[in-house]
Amino acid sequence: MNKRYYVVREDILPEAIMKTIQVKEMLGRGEAATVHEAVERAGLSRSAFYKYKDGVYALNELERERIATISMDLEHRSGMLSNVLSAVASLEGNVLTMNQTIPLQGFANVVISVDISQLSGELSTLVDMLRSLPGVRKASVIGQG
């Protein structure tokens, strides 16, 4: 599914969206130590923050971030996920989200979203590195933005 983005003037956004942006900015500047503290200060519920946080960005924030979503099938054995995360970190990638299925027939599917804006090298280099790890059956980019 292609995601569509819109540029919307601040004064017409719903209050919950604006407060979500405020919370993210407070957390980013270190003005609040926790989500709980930031939402309380902004007058926003935690559920509203979590509902909108991954879909609302200031325009300058979108310009900085480049996100790749990578799907992998990993052998179900100790240390596999740790090896994947170490490989991502070694190239200056930053894992934003991670989802793993329950292992079936000795393999688990893992999908990670990675901030690649600071990646040393190309995304293809990271994917090739992941594919070369022992226990990785497949690794492919399923989305990039």
pLDDT score, position 56:
84
Distance between CA atoms of residues 126 and 44, nearest Å = 38
pLDDT score, position 55:
84
Q: What is the mean pLDDT of the chain?
A: 89
Distance between CA atoms of residues 6 and 94, nearest Å = 26
DSSP one-letter string for 79-144: THHHHHHHHHHHTT-EEEEEEEPPPBTTEEEEEEEEE-TT-SS-HHHHHHHHHHSTTEEEEEEEEE
Q: Are 98 and 112 in contact (CB under 8 A)?
A: yes
pLDDT score, position 1:
58
Is the pTM above the cut of 0.75? no
pLDDT score, position 6:
76
pLDDT score, position 54:
84
Name beta bridge partners: 110: 72, 100
Tell me the per-residue pLDDT of 29-79, one tens digit each, with 9 for 90 and over: 889 889 999 999 999 999 999 999 888 877 655 545 588 899 999 999 999
Question: Is residue 82 scored above 60 in pLDDT?
Answer: yes
- 144 falls in which pLDDT band (50, 70, 90)? confident
Query: Residue range 116-144: average pLDDT?
Result: 91
